[in-house]
Each structure stands twice: as C-alpha cells, then as structure tokens.
A and B are shown apart, each in its own frame.
Chain A
Amino acid sequence: MGRPLVHRSPMPGLGLSMGITLTMLSLVVLLPIGALLLKGASYGIEGIWETVNRERVWAALFLSFRLSLFAAVFNLIFGVLLAWVLVRYRFPGRRILDASVDLPFALPTAVAGIALTALYAPNGAFGSLAASIGWKIAYSQWGILLALVFVGLPFVTRTVQPVVEEIEREVEEASATLGATRLHTLRHVIAPMLAPAALTGFALALARAVGEYGSVIFIAGNIPLVTEIAPLLIVIQLEEFNYDAAAAIGIAMLLISFAMLLVINLIQVWSRRRIGYV
C-alpha cells in the first residue's frame, strides 16, 4: 500500500550496465567519429568534394576498397576451409596450427608488413621464386592483397569454428541416408548452416582490411595512383598539416565503409528471416 507498482526487470543492474555501456560507447566510438564529422562540417561539403574529387584520391579509395573486398572474399573461402579442417580432422600439429591462427591478431602489423616484405621482395625467399616466373609480389598490388589477407584471416576462421563444432555429424549422416550426394549435402545442408557466421567473419575481415595501415605501407611501395592506399593518403595529408583534406578523405572512407557494412547487415537480416534460425 502506498508504494507505486514498479515494473522491475528480473535481470539485475540493467540501468547501471546500460549507463556504463552507453558512456563507454560514446567516449570510445561516437566521440571520435563526431569530431571527425564536425571537422568535416567546418570544411563544408564543397570543400570535401573538392578534396576527394581528385584522381589520386579516387585511385587510392578504389584501390583500398577493391583489394579489401578481394582479401575478404579470399579469407571467407580459405577461413571457412581452415575452420572446417581444424574442427573435423585430427592430425599432428593441429593444436599448434590452431593457436597460430591468432598470430595476425597479436603481431604488431608493422612487424607483419616487414616480415612479408622480406619474404616476398624480389630478393626474398619466395619473392625470388616468383620473380623467376616474372611475378612481382611485393611493391605491387599483389603485395597489398597478401598483407590484407594476412591480417584478416583470423576473423572468418574464429567466427566459423564454433559453428562447425556445433554441427552434429548425424545431420550429415541423415542427409546421406536420404540419398544426397556429398556435394549436395555440402551445398544444401552444411553451407546454409555456416552462412550467417561466415558472413559475420567476412564483414569483420573486410572492415579490418579497409582500415589496415601498418602492414601495407611496408609491402606496397606506395606509388601514387598504383599502390597508394587511402589510409596512407590521409597520413600524408596530416604530415603536410593539411587537416581539412585528411578529414575529408576520412569522411569519404567512413561513408563507404558504413554503406558496405549496412549492406552486409541487411543481407544477414534477410538470410536469417529466410532460413529462420541462428
């Protein structure tokens, strides 16, 4: 009597945890992005467009997003395969291989870039082999792709691995007893079950590759219009104290990345609705 009825959630501490989460999210993510947009706003839309609408900037943006997409596709295929092998097969050295998947996470990206360059430069161990058949890897777009594949690989493998672990072998056996060939089982039973996780991994790998800087600049050669990536262009502008131009390119990358991730998210929502699970 007297006390108002309050609808309380059975989960304790919702208000507190919500407050902390939102504060952290604002400080860590929203504030920097807001600052970037504010900087852009002071520069004006026309100023941004003028900065971006130059051949060198378009080339860099196109290169960054194109190679990131290729690397993410490669990681999607190879990462799913790696996750499958790590879960389903027992072979000597499996645990070491499993642990080494995380190395690209842990390694400073500059170290990775230098190591890859040393190996794939024309006088390096693999680079000299490739050079003998006329294939230049380091200091070309191949080198950039290689670095982006390297840093993005763990994302797909680590998101898909637990899903592979959950698939009961009996589901595959059931498919076989019902007369499905292996290929059919793979396409119509296994692939749809892995798809949501693989797509998430793909999006993560893609996002990582777009923003990658440290490893790429060592192996890319950084020739304007050919192997110059967009993040490098931003750094160059900063070094010339041209903050407005740096912010303009940054905003352009932000918008394109946001659009791409939005599309991937929509695909996921659509596929979830279509197959009704996960």
Chain B
Amino acid sequence: MTIAISSLTKSFGPTHVLRGIDLGIEAGELVALLGPSGSGKTTLLKIIAGLDWPDAGALAVDGQDWLALPAQKRRIGFVFQSYALFPHMTVRDNIAFGLTVRPRAERPGKSVIAARVDQLLGLLQIPHLADRFPTQLSGGQRQRVALGRALAIEPSVLLLDEPFGALDAAIRRDLRRWLREVHEATKSTTIFVTHDQEEAFEMADRVVVMGEGRIEQIGTADQIHDHPASPFVARFMGAVVELPVALRAGRVEAAGLDASALERRAMADGPARLFLRPDAIALEPDAASPWVLSHKASNGAVIRATLRREDGTELPVDLLRHSAPEVTLGAAYRLRPLTGAVFSAEGAAQSGGPSPLPLLKEHRK
C-alpha cells in the first residue's frame, strides 16, 4: 500500500499541531516518525489510523481517499503505546478479536481463526501464553500480544505508537530486532513513532524527523547524521555545541577554531552559526586560543571535557580515552571539528524555517 499525505494541518484550539505535512510512503516500507514530544508525530499517526481527523489536507492510500473512511473500514493494525489489550479476554481471544468481529459473510470459520491465531502465537514466540489474561503478562509479552492482535487482520498498514516506550533497555533491543524480522516476514507497510533516535535509525528504512508540526527532514540514518537540513535537526541529532562564526569565502572562521577539516560551502559571506557534536571535535594545544580546559572526567571509554572562555561560555567535548591525545587542565586548546553543520544566522535563529543544505565533508581521520 502506498500512502500519500499532502498539506495536512491540524490545530487543537490555538495550538498548531500539524503545520502542513507532505509525505509519501512506498509499499512495504518501514518508516519511523522521529521527533521530540509535541512535534505532532503521534497526531499524524492517529490521523492515518482514522482515530483523529485533520483540519485540512489529503490522505490517500493506493489512490483511495482515506479521510472519507472510518477507522473500522481502513483495515489498519494499530499498536498503542499502552498496548490497550482487552483485559477480560485471554491472549488467544485478544488476537482473534479482529477476525471474530467481522460480519458473518466475511468471517472466517472457527477452525480457520484458531489456526491463524496459532500461527501468530508461533511468530510472536508466545504459544505458551495463549490462555493467560493480559494482567498475567509482562510488558514485553503484552507488546507481542498487541502486535499479534494488530497483525491478525492482515492489515494494509501497520502503525505503531512508541512501541517500545514502556520497556527496559535489554527487552527493547531484542524486540527491535524481532519486529524488524516480523516486518521482513509480513512485508506490510509499517510506520512507527518514536522519540529515540537509536531506535528509529536502527529499524527504519527511512526516518522522518518532525519538529513543531513540520517535517524537518526525511532520509536515512547517514544522511540525517551528516547533513542535517536545519538547526532543529542538528540540535536533535546531538549537535549541542553552537558557535557564532563568520563566513568568508565559504569557510567558517572564529577565534580558537581550526575549520580546515570542514569543507568550503556555497554560502554568502556574513555571520553564521556552527553546530557541532561534542564527540566530533578534536583538541589541539594552542596557547593563542581563548578556550581553556576547565574540567575533565572519564567514564572509562570517553573523557568528558569542558572548555571555558574568558566571558564564561562553556562547551562540552567528548574525547575517546584510548585514541585521543592526553589533555591537561588549565591549558589552552584550539577546536578542530571533524564534521559540523553551518546555518546562516537568520536561519539558525528561527529553528523551524528552511535552511540551505550545507556541503560537508565525510568524517576525516
């Protein structure tokens, strides 16, 4: 099923939750909607599911207008963050629910339903839980039942809202790999919502980064990592070091900054802002630099260092303990960023607006 979303907007009172969403999703694709809370990603998912309606815009699936269809007729599988299992039904009845509610004419026979449930229980690796009630299951097991219930109706689109949000880290890792396998096996078009970058990049074919009701960027993990399309994406991806710089002939310049590892970019001269990740900065001793090492602490693998300028500005730098050269407290260092993103000063000020894509060099050693 291909999904085409265009110019979707939605407000709750004075709050604009979606400010014009355009998105196309191919059949069989696994797409992540990634963004901080309040970015509108769950609302978008609910609109696709038919559990919420937009103020304006269009939603078509295989050319059919889905905004004219109620949720019951869309044949989607929706996995809720809270799982929303039916507490008075066994695991088996929960999974069979979508099949048993069909009108008599379309309903498969009892034995067909039982066989389908058994097959799903196998796929979910929970055949031994078939006769338990939801309250007797752990979080991870509930998650599997919720997914099984959604898959039972052979959904045209599978939608998952923060599927692993309530689980602990180890189970989360297992389920991620397992969900990816289930997707390979079922090949259903899948969209999931998450605020966890690692989860989004590890599982999805494509990641849609959302912020404040807009799509900020669509791409693969590497594309978004290396070429963030806006200051918002750069910050969200962990580029928390923000430096005011001057652009001259396509190069960024600032006191104590050695930008020679960054590629020249086709931008007009003038003030700009440089966004850096703390782990993509190398330090080189330079007595003339205004940046002084004021603090360092090691967690075994990484040394977290803090550099301080005379005016009180501080910035964090993460150095690999075994490969980075030794640094000493109180010494002055020059920053040598390995990658970074540059946005013109105006673009950086308003986080949402469109910004030119900077031409960046790949990670250099």
| Chain A residues within CB distance 8 Å of chain B | 168, 170-171, 173-181, 184, 188-189, 192-193, 275-278
**B71 in contact (CB, < 8 A):** yes
Bound CA–CA A180/B103 (angstroms) = 9
A residues in contact with B70, CB < 8 Å: 176
| Chain B residues within CB distance 8 Å of chain A | 49-51, 70-78, 80, 82, 84-90, 97-98, 101-102, 133, 135, 149-150, 153
Given the known interface contacts A276-B90, A277-B87, the answer about A179 and B80 at a Cβ–Cβ threshold of 8 Å is no
Q: Given A173, A178, A192, which contacts B97 in the complex, CB threshold below 8 Å?
A: A178
Q: Given B74, B82, B97, B102, which contacts A170 in the complex, CB threshold below 8 Å?
A: B82
Cβ-defined contact, A180 with B72, below 8 A:
yes
Cβ-defined contact, A168 with B84, below 8 A:
yes
Interface centre among B73, B77, B101 (most CB of A within 10 A): B101
Cβ-defined contact, B72 with A181, below 8 A:
yes
Bound CA–CA A168/B81 (angstroms) = 12
Bound CA–CA A184/B72 (angstroms) = 11
B residues in contact with A184, CB < 8 Å: 101
Given the known interface contacts A179-B153, A189-B86, the answer about A173 and B72 at a Cβ–Cβ threshold of 8 Å is no
Cβ-defined contact, A171 with B86, below 8 A:
yes
Cβ-defined contact, B135 with A177, below 8 A:
no
A-B contact pairs, 14 of them (CB 8 A): A168-B82, A168-B84, A171-B87, A173-B51, A175-B101, A176-B70, A176-B72, A177-B77, A178-B97, A178-B101, A178-B150, A180-B72, A276-B88, A276-B133
Bound CA–CA A171/B78 (angstroms) = 11
Beyond contacts A170-B80, A192-B88, A277-B88: 8 other A-B pairs, Cβ-Cβ < 8 A, are A170-B82, A170-B84, A174-B80, A174-B149, A175-B101, A177-B77, A179-B72, A179-B153
Cβ-defined contact, A179 with B75, below 8 A:
yes
Least CB separation from B74: chain A residue = A177
Bound CA–CA A61/B149 (angstroms) = 52
Q: Given A170, A175, A193, which contacts B87 in the complex, CB threshold below 8 Å?
A: A193
Interface centre among B76, B86, B98 (most CB of A within 10 A): B86
B residues in contact with A178, CB < 8 Å: 97-98, 101, 149-150, 153
A residues in contact with B135, CB < 8 Å: 277
B residues in contact with A179, CB < 8 Å: 72-73, 75, 98, 101-102, 153
Least CB separation from B80: chain A residue = A170
Least CB separation from A171: chain B residue = B84
Bound CA–CA A180/B73 (angstroms) = 9
Least CB separation from A170: chain B residue = B84
Q: Given B76, B85, B87, B102, which contacts A177 in the complex, CB threshold below 8 Å?
A: B76
Q: How far is the CB of B165 from chain A (nearest CB, A)?
A: 13
Cβ-defined contact, B101 with A188, below 8 A:
yes
Given the known interface contacts A170-B84, A181-B72, the answer about A277 and B51 at a Cβ–Cβ threshold of 8 Å is no
Least CB separation from B135: chain A residue = A277
Cβ-defined contact, A180 with B84, below 8 A:
no
